[in-house]
Structure 1
Amino acid sequence: MKLKCIIFDVDGTIADTEDLHRQAFNKAFSAYNIDWHWSEERYHELLFISGGKERIRKCLSEDKTISKDNNFVEELHKCKSEYYRSLLVSSDIKLRPGIQRLINQAKENNIKLAIATNSSIKNFTTLIRKTLDIEPEELFNPIVTSNIVMDKKPSPEVYYRTLADLKLSADSCIAIEDTANGNASAIKAGLRTIITTHAYTKDNDFSGASLVVNSLGEPKKGFCIDENFYCEKSYVDIDLLNTIIINENDFLLQKEYQRVGECV
């Protein structure tokens, strides 16, 4: 079996968007006169909950001074999303290391590219237009967002839907993720995963992942690999993905590892 599709998560995986989301939440709270401010530390805790509305509901359940109905949550989250897209457009955000290279290599090798995300189609479209200056459909098919699948990761539903739309088996695809919930979601759907951590997720539990690194890496600036994994390469490419797909048991040498590149 050879690799037939790479399935990407979006926020934190394709680009480091998480802090823009945090800033957007705080702007929305201010606009609605809510006395909340999510610090980086607080947002780190909240990211263990999948979905912006779900994070708001969690905080509402803890703050008895605010009594709001579900319409309020919807309106507040809509306001936050508008702030997020505005921040995104005005930012200098770039794709994470190795993303553009891997996309180009996949296209050259006729490997499909798909999206499986808790994000909305509007947020995803804004990100791709900003970073790649193209329409998402020019690169990715299918694009499965929260507009299509309501169940949030770690539910595997978003990956089940993606695989169904692809008409491919899970063992011919690899998911690129950045969170414990995303990793669990993909694994439950039968997929192998590569995790690219960042400041908000580097301490997550990524049990079952095929590889955990701090980015996909580049030939001239490799990734830093998690201490529980071993890899002879310093960046993720199609050859490495095929190695994982074809013979994962030989690829995963637990209790032995090699540090490659510089940790961030």
Structure 2
Amino acid sequence: MTVTCEERSFWWDAGRPALATVEPLQAVVFDLDGALADIERDGQRQAFNAAFAEHGLGIEWSVEEYGRLVCIGDEQRRIASALRRAGFGRVSAEIAAHVHRTKNEVFEDSVLNGDVTPRAGLDDLVNSLYFAGIPVAVVSTGARSWVDPLVRQLIGDGIADTVVTPDDLPRPGREPDLHGHALWELGLGPESALAVAGGPRGYLAARAAKLATVVVTTGYTVGADYTGAADVRTSYDGLLAGGCEVLHRRHWAGR
């Protein structure tokens, strides 16, 4: 019988044997959105502001204000909420749809123009992983049209062994599948990899995929609940391949 992508299950779904030894670290899976770059603050926020300006709406989100708004996960609802507060009333949802399309175009252009920069210290970590022979994977909930060029800009061309977006999934929208698919492409189980997330959304997705996870918070994600994380940091300062191996081993040894 042929097994389709929709029927595929991962071998680690059966659980980890009670007496299993700790596997060596064989890959690090980064969440693009927050871990590689502070995309919300430095990319999406500025694209929203440019879209508002293009439509002549007189709205501009500061770093602090946008930090309060990111809790509204649906971006069109986020825009409509701001429009209602600005007095646009019942037409807010309709205007928001137009603004959102413009924002997506502006954001993709900014990515292609190299306007989004990597988080401080990321280069050192990625280079140390490369020289240690530890493969790097990247997952993102974004569109491949901008994810691929952005990954190349942030960590270099050809550095990531695999980049996984919802376009690769048989059932788009299930975030844990991004990490599971990355592991599947690498030929690894979760005990052999370490995830790096930038906030609660990426952290929960990585943990749902059974990965030991390091969280490197941003200004918007610091202080959230990361219970069970292998480590929670505010920066990459001093984190290199050897440190990743220690955190990975400590996490699984403690289990």
TM-score band w.r.t. shorter chain: 0.7 to 0.9
1:65 and 2:90 equivalent? yes
CA contact (8 A) 1:85 1:126 kept: no
Cα distance, 1:67 vs structure 2: 5.7
Which has the larger displacement, 143-152 or 163-172?
143-152
* 1:236 equivalent among 216, 239, 248: 239
- The change in CA–CA distance for 1:81 and 1:110 in structure 2 (over 3 A counts) is same
Runs of at least 5 residues in structure 1 that lack an aligned partner in the other structure: 218-234, 253-264
Q: Quote the residue 2:196 is aligned against.
A: 176
TM-score by length of 2: 0.74
Partner Cα distance (1:94, 1:28) in 2: 21
Deviations 1:202-242 (A, max 9, x none): 2322222111111111xxxxxxxxxxxxxxxxx22222222
Alignment partner of 1:41 is 2:49: no
Secondary structure class of the residue paired with 2:214: strand
Is 1:104 the equivalent of 2:118?
no
SS of residue in 1 equivalent to 2:188: coil
CA–CA distance in 2 between the matches of 1:27 and 1:240? 40
Alignment of 1:9-48 (within 5 A): 9-19=31-41, 20-34=43-57, 36-48=59-71
Counterpart of 2:19? Answer: none
Name the CA distance, whole Å, in 2 between partners of 1:11 and 1:151. 15
Q: Does 1:212 align with 2:232?
A: yes
Q: Secondary structure at the match of 1:82?
A: helix
Distance in 2 of aligned mates of 1:147 and 1:174: 23
SS at 1:48 equivalent: coil
Check 1:249–1:166 CA distance in 2 against 1; reply closer, same or farther (3 A cut): closer
How far residue 250 of structure 1 moved from its aligned partner, in angstroms, is 7.0
Q: Which amino acid aligns with 1:17?
A: I
CA positional deviation for 1:45 = 2.7
For 1:111 and 1:133, how far apart are their aligned partners in 2? 15
How far 1:131 moved relative to its partner?
Answer: 4.2
- Counterparts in 2 of 1:65 and 1:33: CA distance versus 1, 3 Å: farther
Give the residue type in structure 2 aligned to 1:188. Answer: A
Question: What is the alpha-carbon distance in structure 2 between the residues aligned to residue 129 and residue 65 of structure 1?
Answer: 42
**Counterpart secondary structure, 1:11:** helix
TM-score after normalising by structure 1: 0.72
- Asked if 1 retains the 8 angstrom alpha-carbon contact of 2:230 and 2:248, the reply is no
- The separation in 2 between residues aligned to 1:31 and 1:145, in whole angstroms, is 29
Q: Which has the larger radius of gyration?
A: 2
Greater per-residue helix proportion: 2
1:248: which partner in 2? 251
Q: Are the structure 2 counterparts of residues 89 and 178 from structure 1 closer, same or farther at C-alpha, using a change threshold of 3 Å?
A: same
Q: How far, CA to CA, are the matches of 1:29 and 1:147 in structure 2?
A: 29
Q: Give a deviation string over 1:104-129, Cα, whole Å, max 9, x none.
A: 22222221110111222232333344
Q: Which amino acid in structure 2 is aligned with residue 39 of structure 1?
A: S
Q: After the TM superposition, which residues 70-149 of structure 1 pair with which residues of structure 2 at under 5 Å, given as runs?
A: 73=97, 76-88=99-111, 94-131=117-154, 134=157, 138-149=158-169
Quote the Cα distance in structure 2 between the aligned partners of 1:10 and 1:84: 15
Query: How many aligned residue pairs are there?
Result: 225
Matched residues in 1 for 2:152 and 2:253: separation? 39
The whole-number CA distance in structure 1 between the counterparts of 2:159 and 2:126 is 8
| Structure 1 residue identity aligned to 2:90 | T
Q: Percent identity?
A: 25
Gaps of 5+ in 2: 1-22
Q: Which runs of 4+ in 1 moved over 6 A?
A: 249-252
Structure-2 change in CA distance of 1:133 and 1:165 (3 Å): closer
Partner of 2:11: none
In 2: Cα distance, 1:132 partner to 1:240 partner: 19
Q: How far off its partner does 1:48 sit?
A: 3.4
Q: Matched residues in 2 for 1:44 and 1:27: separation? A: 17
